[in-house]
């Protein structure tokens, strides 16, 4: 399950990288575009207002200068009269500025006597050119634009300036609308890009997730399974390659299983003969000393080889689908105690003991095959005796908790290196230990326990001492199981 989640995490990371590089880049471009568009719209509208005011100021100043007399007082008398007859006072403010930069006359009246001090006024008075400026009106903070044209007397001297001032409120509102429209269009474009990217990503992440899951199933032993080819592209080529690999591994696995089955069957006959003659010779009184010890070794090794052959045959039955369970209501504690009694007697000859205390409470029944579960118990105790022989004892406990019957076997050997624990239940896996074996005993045990809907777990002892703990968990019978 952890590997499956890890695979999905990798694909989600691929999706995130795609979105970050593609969508984020599009977002940056759209933001820059909206920013440039807004600045362009603002420049366009401001230039239009500035051009309009400059044209009006140029025309009005030329007209006004033609009627200006040589005297300063006549200039301002004309300014008062011109202001009184100003027709655009509803949308524009007309100001007459003296040579010191002070507003002498204003169509709004309230501005008279103020000193704007802005660039447009200085340009008109000092450079004798039309000047423009936009900013905020002092006091109110309103955004305004001002255009100032110099007023010249008949001898060419500057006698003042004519200044037009307009509010930018409506212009800024229009610019805001245009920018909001551009942002809305940009948002729609981003949404379209995001949806199209998500759809496109989905077209290759989903097949990759399926192929990843398939490859993992093949790695876990489901050889020969095939993936459906959905696309005639690079992903389709990958699908073909994985299907071909799976088919070849399946054929190889089938050949291997048939070979193991054939060899195992062939070995049973000579092993039976060897075991039988070893037992016969063991009772021959004419054989003694070293010869008798040799016969004992032959008998022991042939027995070990017989167990290995039986495990191989059991394995081939599982692989071929000829492995069946005779399920019935089972007193699993009773089956465990019988296995302990049977194997305990054998262990006594090797100087080992099985420490087992019957539980105080009644152990619930389970649905299972007694012979198969006893096979699991014997196999686990055999491994415990093999790897924990130096300690001389094995501990076995049984109990019930959380809807499970929990059986634990513990040896006091060296344990299993942590890096090898995830692999010891895989078929034919042989770790770094020196003990001999086929490497399929635990694989068969897990298959049997799994078919009982149970769990087989291995862990090193956590109490600071050496030893391996093997836990078998079997589900307690439920009411619906009893009705069936």
Q: What is the CATH number of the domain that holds 305?
A: 1.10.287.130
Decide if 204 is inside a domain.
Answer: no
Lookup: tokens for 219: 């790695």
Residues 365, 316, single domain; the answer is no
Residues 132, 250, single domain; the answer is no
Give pLDDT, residue 132.
Answer: 94
Decide if 263 is inside a domain.
Answer: yes
Residue 12 confidence (pLDDT) above 50: yes
Give pLDDT, residue 10.
Answer: 47
Give pLDDT, residue 294.
Answer: 82
CA angle 119, 124, 128 (to 5 degrees): 140
Decide if 211 is inside a domain.
Answer: no
Residues 335, 310, single domain; the answer is no
Residues 164, 307, single domain; the answer is no
**Parallel, antiparallel, or unpaired for β 158-167 and 93-97?**
antiparallel
Residue 189 confidence (pLDDT) above 50: yes
Residues 350, 406, single domain; the answer is yes
Single residue among 264, 291, 320 that ends a domain in this structure: 320
Residues 151, 241, single domain; the answer is no
Give pLDDT, residue 1.
Answer: 40
Find where tokens 């465990």 sit. 336
Give pLDDT, residue 455.
Answer: 93
Average predicted confidence (pLDDT) for the chain: 80
Backbone CA torsion sign across 321, 327, 331, 337: negative
Question: Could you tell me the CA-to-CA distances from 363 to 273, 278, 359, 401, 447 in Å, in that order?
Answer: 43, 42, 8, 10, 23
| Rounded-to-10 torsion of CA 89, 95, 96, 102 | 160
Residue 351 contacts residue 392 (beta carbons within 8 Å): yes
At 382, which CATH number?
3.30.565.10
Domain total in the chain: 3
Split at pLDDT 50, 70, 90, the class of 5 is very low
What residues have CB less than 8 Å from 25, skipping those under 6 apart?
A: none
pLDDT in tens, 383-442: 888 877 777 889 999 999 989 999 999 988 888 888 888 878 776 666 655 555 555 678
Residue 431 contacts residue 417 (beta carbons within 8 Å): yes
Residue 3 confidence (pLDDT) above 70: no
Residue 395 contacts residue 409 (beta carbons within 8 Å): yes
Residues 31, 62, single domain; the answer is yes
Residue 431 contacts residue 420 (beta carbons within 8 Å): yes
Residues 242, 301, single domain; the answer is yes
Decide if 248 is inside a domain.
Answer: yes
If you average pLDDT over residues 436-461, what whole number do you get?
Answer: 81
If you average pLDDT over residues 155-163, what whole number do you get?
Answer: 83
Residue 164 confidence (pLDDT) above 80: yes
Residue closest to 337 by CA, chosen among 311, 363, 314 = 363
Residues 260, 362, single domain; the answer is no
Domain containing 163: what range? 26-173
pLDDT in tens, 262-273: 666 666 677 777
Decide if 56 is inside a domain.
Answer: yes
**What is the Cα–Cα distance from 6 to 120, expressed in whole angstroms?**
68
Residue 153 confidence (pLDDT) above 60: yes
Split at pLDDT 50, 70, 90, the class of 44 is very high
**What is the Cα–Cα distance from 319 to 255, expressed in whole angstroms?**
11
Give pLDDT, residue 2.
Answer: 43
Secondary structure of the chain as H, E, C letters: CHHHHHHHHHHHHHHHHHHHHHHHHHHHHHHHHHHHHHHHHHHHHHHHHHHHHHHHHHHHHHHHHCCCCCCHHHHHHHHHHHHHCCCCCCCCEEEEECCCCCEEEECCCCCCCCCCCCHHHHHHHHHCCCEEEEEECCCCCCEEEEEEEEEECCCCCEEEEEEEEEECHHHHHHHHHHHHHHHHHHHHHHHHHHHHHHHHHHHHHHHHHHHHHHHHHHHCCCCCCCCCCCCCCHHHHHHHHHHHHHHHHHHHHHHHHHHHHHHHHHHHHHHHHHHHHHHHHHCCCCCCHHHHHHHHHHHHHHHHHHHHHHHHHHHHHHHHCCCCCCCEEECHHHHHHHHHHHHHHHHHCCCCEEEECCCCCCCCCEEECHHHHHHHHHHHHHHHHHHCHHHCEEEEEEEEECCEEEEEEEECCCCCCHHHHHHCCCCCCCCCCCCCCCCCHHHHHHHHHHHCCCEEEEEECCCCCCCEEEEEEEEECCHHHHHC
pLDDT in tens, 262-304: 666 666 677 777 877 777 877 777 777 778 778 777 877 777 6
- Main-chain dihedrals φ then ψ at residue 338, nearest 5 degrees: -65, -40
Task: Name which residue leads in pLDDT, 438 or 18.
Answer: 18
Q: Tell me which long-range contacts 105-114 makes (C-beta under 8 A, separation of at least 24).
A: 105/76, 105/79, 105/80, 107/83, 111/165
pLDDT in tens, 48-100: 999 999 998 888 888 777 665 555 666 677 778 888 778 888 889 898 888 89
pLDDT in tens, 108-142: 877 778 888 899 999 999 999 999 999 998 878 88
129-138, 142-151, 338-347, 463-472: range with lowest mean pLDDT: 463-472
Split at pLDDT 50, 70, 90, the class of 8 is very low
Task: Name which residue leads in pLDDT, 245 or 481.
Answer: 245
Give pLDDT, residue 268.
Answer: 66
**What is the Cα–Cα distance from 430 to 440, expressed in whole angstroms?**
9
pTM: 0.47
Decide if 212 is inside a domain.
Answer: no
If you average pLDDT over residues 313-338, what whole number do you get?
Answer: 78
Single residue among 294, 320, 346 that ends a domain in this structure: 320
Single residue among 173, 190, 218 that ends a domain in this structure: 173
Give pLDDT, residue 249.
Answer: 75
Task: Name which residue leads in pLDDT, 254 or 202.
Answer: 202
Decide if 1 is inside a domain.
Answer: no
Residue 6 confidence (pLDDT) above 50: no
Lookup: tokens for 37: 């568009």
Residues 385, 479, single domain; the answer is yes
Decide if 8 is inside a domain.
Answer: no
**Parallel, antiparallel, or unpaired for β 366-368 and 353-356?**
unpaired
Residues 375, 308, single domain; the answer is no
**What is the Cα–Cα distance from 201 to 16, expressed in whole angstroms?**
10
Split at pLDDT 50, 70, 90, the class of 224 is confident
Residues 251, 300, single domain; the answer is yes
């Amino acid at each position: 399950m952890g590997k499956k989640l890890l695979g999905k995490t990798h694909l989600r990371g691929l999706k995130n990288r795609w979105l970050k590089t593609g969508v984020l880049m599009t977002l940056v471009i759209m933001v820059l575009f909206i920013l440039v568009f807004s600045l362009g719209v603002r420049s366009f509208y401001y230039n239009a207002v500035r051009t309009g005011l400059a044209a009006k100021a140029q025309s009005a100043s030329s007209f006004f200068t033609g009627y200006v007399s040589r005297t300063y007082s006549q200039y301002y008398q004309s300014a008062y009269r011109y202001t009184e007859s100003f027709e655009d006072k509803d949308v524009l403010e007309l100001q007459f500025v003296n040579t010191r930069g002070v507003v002498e006359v204003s169509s709004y009246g309230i501005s008279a006597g103020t000193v704007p001090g802005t660039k447009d006024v200085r340009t008109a008075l000092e450079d004798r050119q039309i000047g423009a400026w936009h900013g905020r009106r002092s006091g109110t903070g309103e955004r305004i634009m001002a255009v100032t044209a110099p007023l010249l007397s008949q001898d060419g001297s500057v006698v003042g300036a004519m200044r037009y001032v307009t509010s930018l409120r409506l212009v800024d509102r229009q610019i805001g609308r245009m920018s909001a429209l551009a942002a809305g269009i940009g948002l729609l474009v981003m949404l379209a890009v995001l949806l199209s990217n998500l759809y496109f990503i989905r077209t290759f992440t989903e097949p990759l997730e399926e192929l990843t899951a398939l490859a993992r199933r093949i790695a876990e032993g489901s050889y020969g399974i095939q993936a459906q080819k959905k696309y005639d592209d690079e992903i389709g080529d990958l699908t073909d390659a994985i299907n071909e690999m799976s088919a070849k591994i399946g054929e190889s696995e089938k050949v291997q299983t048939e070979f193991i089955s054939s060899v195992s069957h062939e070995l049973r006959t000579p092993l039976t003969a060897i075991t039988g003659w070893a037992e016969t010779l063991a009772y021959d009184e004419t054989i003694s000393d070293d010869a008798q010890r040799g016969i004992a070794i032959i008998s022991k090794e042939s027995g070990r080889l017989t167990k290995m052959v039986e495990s191989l045959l059991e394995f081939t039955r599982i692989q071929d689908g000829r492995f069946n369970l005779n399920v019935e209501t089972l007193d699993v504690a009773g089956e465990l105690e019988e296995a302990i009694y049977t194997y305990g007697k054998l262990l006594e000859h090797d100087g080992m003991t099985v420490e087992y205390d019957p539980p105080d409470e009644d152990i619930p029944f389970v649905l299972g095959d007694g012979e198969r579960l006893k096979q699991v118990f014997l196999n686990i105790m055999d491994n415990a005796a093999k790897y924990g022989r130096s300690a001389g004892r094995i501990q076995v406990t049984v109990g019930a908790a959380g809807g499970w019957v929990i059986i634990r076997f513990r040896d006091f050997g060296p344990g299993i290196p942590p890096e090898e624990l995830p692999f010891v239940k895989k078929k034919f896996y042989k770790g770094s230990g020196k003990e001999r074996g086929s490497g399929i005993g635990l694989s068969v045990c897990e298959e049997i326990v799994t078919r009982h809907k149970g769990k087989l777990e291995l862990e090193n002892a956590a109490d600071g001492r050496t030893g391996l703990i093997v836990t078998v968990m079997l589900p307690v019978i439920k009411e619906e199981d009893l009705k069936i």
